[in-house]
Amino acid sequence: MNTQMTQTSLLPFPSPRSNDRLIKLRDVEHILEEYFHRDSRPSRSTIIGWIEDGTLNGTQLGRGRNYYVYELSLDSFKTKLAAQNYEMAA
């Protein structure tokens, strides 16, 4: 099994839902930058709120209780954001 990390720090931890990987919160912030205007990018606390309210599926791990987002959840969220942007542009 390949355990090498990619540049977006994907962790090879399996989730309860198949082999979904976890992405560090700081990397989620960078990934979402392309979907939001510079002046309206979500803050770290906003992303944590999305995890807590179920908008994004994520978890806290480790001694520091750091937040991580499941890759499939983030992909689904990005798809919804792209569709909304497309509808607004039309």
pLDDT tens readout for residues 42-60: 999 999 999 999 999 999 9
| pTM as predicted | 0.72
Q: For strand 66-70 and strand 58-61, is the pairing parallel, antiparallel, or unpaired? A: antiparallel
Per residue in 16-44, pLDDT (tens digit) is 556 789 999 999 999 999 888 888 889 99
Q: What is the reported pLDDT for 88?
A: 58
Q: For strand 10-11 and strand 66-70, is the pairing parallel, antiparallel, or unpaired? A: unpaired
